[in-house]
Structure 1
Amino acid sequence: MFAFIYTLGIYLAQGGARLVALFHPKTRLWVKGQAQTWSLIEESENGERKTENGKRKTPTENQKTATTNHKPRITNHQYTFWFHAASLGEFEQGRPVIEACRRQYPAARIVLTFFSPSGYENKKDYDQADVVCYLPADTPAHVARFLDAVQPDMALFIKYEFWPNYLFALKKRGIPALMFSAIFRPDQLFFKAYGGFYRNVLCCLDHILVQNRESEKLLKSIDYNQVTLAGDTRLDRVVQIAKQAKTFPLIEQFKGNTPLLIVGSAWPDDLEVIFAFLHHFKHPLRVIVAPHEINAEQIKHWRQAVSVESFVYSEWLEERKTENGRFSLPDFGTSSLLFLDTVGMLSSVYRYADFVFVGGGYRDGLHNTMEPAVFGMPIFFGQPYYRKFQEALDLLQLGGAQTVANADEFSKAFTEVYENELLRKKKADICREYVQKNAGATEKVMEVIKRTFIMR
């Protein structure tokens, strides 16, 4: 009964999405992408894989060998991994595992699916996957068609996304399904007295690798014992990013010898706090704001609202570059603010920060605190939407991060750290050491992947 109601809901949601797509650009991308999924899968069936420049690489005869019986061939690596990520954040979390599979099993076919346009539209040209597409809607017909076309030897779900019809079908076909970097909370349906349907869905997973001890205990409390405490693969990703971080001369010049605060993935609620704080903060400070959604008109409005001198990164790139590669910058006052309106820079720009305020904590869900933490600096964020993020809870408990409810609290907390160099260093060391200590989840995931194949 529950399965019927669920599937009916999926059909209704599909119809509703087509209607909403007439007025909502993001939904329109999803509907259009769903329609393209089948052709993308068919184009990849010959085993061709994109290289770094986006061109297709002709496979060897061994790589062309089809996988049709779901039996893994670990000796010659001729099988298919299917990875699913809800959105861009989950992709970045799973990326170390995807790339480890590519290195360890170079002849394998890798299929990557997304639910959200923010994931697919940003990573549709990802060169480590043979095909990148939207996950077809979770109806029995779509599930059967997708699995018949892809022929996965293993399905790997990143962090969450429990699609019942997919998981039931994988179980029925004998295809192992894993979930990694997962995190569970007591209020989820799996752990409720009336959550039997969702417990059945959960049990379709052959193994779950969790981020924390609490998640492990919750799963065992409902007699799910195929669980490994592995940690968060996102930590491996940020360590990798830090090692490859780019340099930005303009950012270096903007910072100079003045302390720098970076506000990363900022939403309007976050900037209300930051702007109010800047209105009263009188010490020398440079500020870089990286909005979560880049909108030229919104940035123009914010520049009019902020009380300090402000600039826009892309405008500097065009107008102020000199012949020697340096930038002709104005003389800054006590405080100056730079809007970072270029995608893909933030994770590297964090290297220049002395302090970081991570956005999303006031309303939309806290963004990635690990990207700045790996470089080592005090971290601040809003409340209350940080509690489902284990790394945020850990950094708060250890003292490397601090949560603030409003501009007054932020001003007080920031000023204390700004004026106390020893305290600043202590918090910075806590953040940096946390990342280094807890990295290594990817290796544990790869061990379970290999063990699952061998046991089959």
Structure 2
Amino acid sequence: MWIDGRKGQKVQQLKSSIWFHFASLGEFEQGRPVLEAIKQQYPAQPVVITFFSPSGYEARKNTPLADAVYYLPLDRAANARDFVNAINPVMAVFTKYEYWYHFFNELHTQHVPLYMISGIFRPGQVFFKWYGGLHRKMLKLVTWFFVQDINSKHLLHDLGITNVTISGDTRFDRVWANAQQPKELPQIAAFKNGQKLFIAGSTWPADEQLIAGLITQHPNWKFIIAPHEIGEDKINGLMSLLPKESTIKFSGISNLKSDSSCLIVDNIGMLSSLYQYADIAYIGGGFGAGIHNTLEAAAFGMPVIFGPKYSKFKEAEDLVEINAGFSINSQDGLNSVASMLMNDEAARHAAALTAKDYVAKSVGATNTIMAYIKERH
């Protein structure tokens, strides 16, 4: 899909546009508050969205927030020149990690303002290595950085880059807005049926092994697992781990029984609304490349549990520090943390309030970014 999607792509000629680029679906949701604010501020201006990966493009290729959605062409000088000349952006907004030399250089050459939002930098990144000269050159092509924290600002200042504002992370704005007006899911309410609910979201096989080990210990709780991958083989493999007689799939929820205690979500797109029904959340990915989005669950006010690989995620580190997030690295670790939260209502309630308060106090990045943009456009 990554290759074929780019092969037959024809870019529509526009007199002007505002260009948003996202790596994937997660970054789209992260930058969405700014995208929506831009649409509201400049309603007559066409919006072009590009994605690097199929997971973002396929999920949002028909989004009403854009006039055109494309795969980002390969980062070559001719491709960059042709693409920018076709869409004629008056500004470009890139999110978090996306740095593409030829596209940045073409925007700079054509004097198109380039804004990096929700940027975050760490000493181990290539920008700060002795061999990172080309990457440092890319940083100099950005018009303005809106970064998540003061450490990122200091790292950029060390490189002589001072066009930086600490705005925070726009994901907080997105998850908070979602938590205020979530989509109601009556099937989930019927499944929960007034009982306590443990939701495991964006799980991978290593996570699912642990969750399966936990389920049998807590017969009075309901469990929902929303795996990261929903291919038939993956779902069947997950089903084989769980109690057969009491497990159902969401696609078969019409067969819901009173003793159904475990639900597998075999579709994409429900997770951000699912969390409103949960009492505890487990976030997957922490035994692989890194954990998925902890903030969606935290915004609804609940403790979040995740695996050991979370050091690249500032919000997860923050949640651990304030006792609203809990990292585990084994079955015993999960059993211990989950049992504590499940059996001690006061501890669970305290962690839930702390998580929600953390998100509430962290909103506002979009307003900071928009204040700067409105002054200049």
TM bucket, shorter chain: over 0.9
Residue 268 of structure 2 aligns with an amino acid whose one-letter code is V
Quick one: which of 183, 195, 213 aligns to 1:258? Answer: 195
Residue 138 of structure 1 aligns with an amino acid whose one-letter code is D
Are 1:114 and 2:51 counterparts?
yes
Are 1:399 and 2:336 counterparts?
no
What whole-Å deviation, never above 9, does each CA across 1:421-446 have from its counterpart, x for those lacking one? 11111100011111111011111111
1:33 equivalent in structure 2: 5
Q: 1:155 to 1:272 in 2, by over 3 A?
A: same
Q: 1:258 to 1:30 in 2, by over 3 A?
A: same
Q: Secondary structure at the match of 1:178?
A: strand
Q: 1:450 to 1:331 in 2, by over 3 A?
A: closer
Residue 342 of structure 1 aligns with an amino acid whose one-letter code is N
2:178 equivalent in structure 1: 241
Are 1:284 and 2:217 counterparts?
no
Shift of 1:407: 1.0
Q: How does 1:93-172 map to 2 (within 5 A)?
A: 93-172=30-109
Shift of 1:36: 3.4
Separation in 2 of the partners of 1:418 and 1:122? 35
Q: 1:387 to 1:452 in 2, by over 3 A?
A: farther
Shift of 1:206: 1.0
Shift of 1:285: 1.1
Q: How does 1:5-24 map to 2 (within 5 A)?
A: none
Q: Which has the higher mean CA deviation after the structures are superposed, 292-301 or 153-162?
A: 292-301
2:230 equivalent in structure 1: 294
Shift of 1:298: 2.4
Shift of 1:193: 2.6
The TM-score normalised by the length of structure 1 is 0.80
What whole-Å deviation, never above 9, does each CA across 1:179-231 have from its counterpart, x for those lacking one? 00011110011112332221111110011001111111111111111111001
Separation in 2 of the partners of 1:99 and 1:158? 14
Shift of 1:139: 0.5
Quick one: which of 327, 331, 338 aligns to 2:258? Answer: 331
Residue 41 of structure 1 aligns with an amino acid whose one-letter code is Q
Shift of 1:283: 4.8
Residue 433 of structure 1 aligns with an amino acid whose one-letter code is D
Separation in 2 of the partners of 1:297 and 1:35? 30
Separation in 2 of the partners of 1:33 and 1:299? 27
2:359 equivalent in structure 1: 435
Q: How does 1:210-225 map to 2 (within 5 A)?
A: 210-225=147-162
Residue 170 of structure 1 aligns with an amino acid whose one-letter code is L
Shift of 1:276: 1.9
1:304 equivalent in structure 2: 240
1:449 equivalent in structure 2: 373
Are 1:344 and 2:281 counterparts?
no
Separation in 2 of the partners of 1:33 and 1:450? 35
Q: Secondary structure at the match of 2:20?
A: strand
Separation in 1 of the partners of 2:89 and 2:201? 37
2:333 equivalent in structure 1: 409
Separation in 2 of the partners of 1:206 and 1:404? 41
Separation in 1 of the partners of 2:323 and 2:239? 33
Shift of 1:406: 1.1
Deviation above 6 Å: which 4+ runs of structure 1?
Answer: none
5+ residue gaps, structure 1:
1-28, 46-65, 68-79, 321-328
Separation in 1 of the partners of 2:258 and 2:57? 42
Q: Secondary structure at the match of 1:91?
A: helix
1:57 equivalent in structure 2: none
Q: Secondary structure at the match of 1:305?
A: coil
Separation in 1 of the partners of 2:8 and 2:37? 28
Q: Secondary structure at the match of 1:30?
A: coil
Shift of 1:305: 2.2
Q: Secondary structure at the match of 1:438?
A: coil
Residue 346 of structure 1 aligns with an amino acid whose one-letter code is L
The answer to whether the 8 Å contact 1:277/1:408 transfers is no
Quick one: which of 353, 366, 374 aligns to 2:278? Answer: 353
The answer to whether the 8 Å contact 1:110/1:130 transfers is yes
Residue 33 of structure 1 aligns with an amino acid whose one-letter code is G
The TM-score normalised by the length of structure 2 is 0.96
Q: Percent identity?
A: 41
Are 1:91 and 2:28 counterparts?
yes
1:191 equivalent in structure 2: 128
Separation in 2 of the partners of 1:316 and 1:310? 10
Separation in 2 of the partners of 1:404 and 1:196? 38
Residue 259 of structure 2 aligns with an amino acid whose one-letter code is F
5+ residue gaps, structure 2:
none
Separation in 1 of the partners of 2:32 and 2:327? 29
